[in-house]
C-alpha cells in the first residue's frame, strides 16, 4: 500500500510541475480562481445571495456548505492526506539536491491534511445545489439551457481544481475525490426537506456534529497520532511564516460550520417572531446588497492569533451572529 501511495504522489508531483510550467504566466489568474473556490465564500457570498433570491435555496446552501466542510474536516483527520509542498521534502524518496521544485504562493500553506480537497468538495457541493435547485424551482425545461448551466458548472470546477494543483496545495487525486464526494453530498441533500426543520433540529444537528468531531479527534489522539501534525509541517515547509494562518486549521472550519448552523436555526426562529417590512417586491434589490455587505465586512474582522482559545471563541461568535443578522436582521430593514 505504501508503494502504491508513493507512486500516486510521485505522479501527482509531475502533474503539478507540468501545471505550474503551463500556467506560469497566469499565476494571478490561478490565485484568483483558487480564491474563488474558497469554502468561506459558501458562507459569505453564496448563502446570502441565494437566501434573498430564493429562501429555500439559501437555507439548503448553508446546510450543504456546513455539512460538507464538517465531513471534509473529519475525513482529513482520518485519512491524514499529505500536501505536495511539504511532501516532496518529507517523503525521503528523493536524493539530496534532487527534490522537485514546487513554487509556493501566498495561499499555498494551508495547515490541514490534504485529502480530500476542501475547496473542491465544498464548492462542488454548493454549486451543485445552486444549479440543480435553479433548474428545479424555475422549472427549466430547455435541454440546451440545462446543458449550458451544467457545462459552466463543470468548467468552473475544473478551473478551481487546476488552480489548486498550480499552487501546490493538493495532489490530483485529492481534488478529484473532493469533487465527487461534494456532488454525492449535494445529491443526497437535495432529497432532504429543510422547510420543516425547527430550532430543535438545528440544536440537535449542531450537538451531533460537535460530538462526532470531538470523538474523531479523541480517537486520532488515542491511536498515538498527533491531530496537529499537519500544522507543524506547514510551519516547517512554508516558504514564508506569514503565509500560515489559523483560519485554515480544521478546528476553525468545524467552528464555522457549527456556529453557522446554530446561527441559521436561531435566525429563522427569530424571523418568525419579529415584525418588519420583509415582504416588499423590491426586497432582493435592497436586502441582498445589505446582506452581502454584512457577510463580506465580517471577513475584515481579524482576531489576535497569540491566544488560540480566544481566537476560536471569537470566530464562533462572529459566524453565529453574522448568519443571525443576515436571516433575521437584514429582512427587518424597512424600504
Q: Which residues are catalytic?
A: 119, 170
Q: What is the 3-state secondary structure (H, E, C) of 190-234?
A: CCCCCCCCCHHHHHHHHHHHHHHHHHHHHHHHHCCCCCCHHHHHH
**Rounded distance between C-alpha atoms, residue 210 and residue 204, angstroms:** 10
Report phi then psi at 276, rounded to 5: 170, 175
DSSP 83-96: -HHHHHHHS--S-T
CB 243 within 8 A of CB 103: no
**Rounded distance between C-alpha atoms, residue 109 and residue 125, angstroms:** 24
Q: What angle do CA 83, 77, 320 make, to 5 degrees?
A: 105
Supply 286's cell numbers. Answer: 435592497
Q: How far is CA 27 from CA 19, 33, 163, 291, 324, in A?
A: 11, 10, 9, 32, 37
DSSP 1-69: -HHHHHHHHHHHHHHHHHHHHHTGGGHHHHHHHHHHT-THHIIIIIHHHHHHH-HHHHHHHHHHHHHHH
Amino acid at each position: 500500500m505504501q508503494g502504491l501511495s508513493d507512486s500516486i504522489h510521485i505522479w501527482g508531483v509531475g502533474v503539478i510541475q507540468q501545471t505550474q510550467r503551463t500556467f506560469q504566466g497566469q499565476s494571478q489568474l490561478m490565485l484568483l480562481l483558487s480564491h474563488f473556490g474558497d469554502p468561506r465564500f459558501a458562507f459569505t457570498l453564496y448563502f446570502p445571495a441565494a437566501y434573498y433570491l430564493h429562501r429555500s435555496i439559501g437555507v439548503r446552501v448553508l446546510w450543504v456548505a456546513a455539512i460538507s466542510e464538517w465531513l471534509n474536516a473529519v475525513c482529513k483527520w482520518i485519512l491524514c492526506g499529505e500536501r505536495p509542498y511539504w511532501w516532496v521534502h518529507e517523503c525521503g524518496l528523493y536524493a539530496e539536491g534532487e527534490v522537485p521544485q514546487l513554487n509556493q504562493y501566498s495561499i499555498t500553506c494551508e495547515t490541514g491534511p490534504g485529502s480530500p480537497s476542501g475547496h473542491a468538495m465544498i464548492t462542488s457541493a454548493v454549486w451543485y445545489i445552486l444549479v440543480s435547485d435553479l433548474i428545479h424551482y424555475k422549472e427549466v425545461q430547455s435541454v440546451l439551457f440545462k446543458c449550458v448551466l451544467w457545462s459552466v458548472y463543470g468548467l468552473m470546477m475544473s478551473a478551481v481544481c487546476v488552480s489548486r494543483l498550480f499552487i501546490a496545495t493538493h495532489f490530483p487525486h485529492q481534488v478529484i475525490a473532493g469533487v465527487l464526494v461534494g456532488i454525492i453530498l449535494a445529491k443526497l441533500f437535495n432529497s432532504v426537506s429543510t422547510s420543516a426543520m425547527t430550532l430543535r433540529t438545528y440544536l440537535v444537528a449542531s450537538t451531533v456534529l460537535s460530538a462526532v468531531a470531538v470523538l474523531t479527534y479523541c480517537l486520532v489522539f488515542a491511536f498515538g497520532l498527533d491531530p496537529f501534525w499537519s500544522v507543524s509541517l506547514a510551519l516547517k515547509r512554508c516558504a514564508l511564516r506569514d503565509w500560515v494562518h489559523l483560519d485554515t486549521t480544521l478546528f476553525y472550519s468545524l467552528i464555522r460550520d457549527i456556529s453557522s448552523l446554530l446561527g441559521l436555526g436561531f435566525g429563522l426562529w427569530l424571523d418568525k417572531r419579529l415584525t418588519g417590512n420583509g415582504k416588499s417586491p423590491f426586497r432582493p434589490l435592497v436586502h441582498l446588497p445589505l446582506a452581502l455587505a454584512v457577510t463580506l465586512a465580517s471577513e475584515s474582522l481579524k482576531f489576535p492569533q497569540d491566544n488560540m482559545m480566544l481566537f476560536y471563541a471569537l470566530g464562533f461568535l462572529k459566524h453565529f451572529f453574522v448568519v443571525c443578522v443576515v436571516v433575521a436582521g437584514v429582512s427587518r430593514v424597512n424600504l
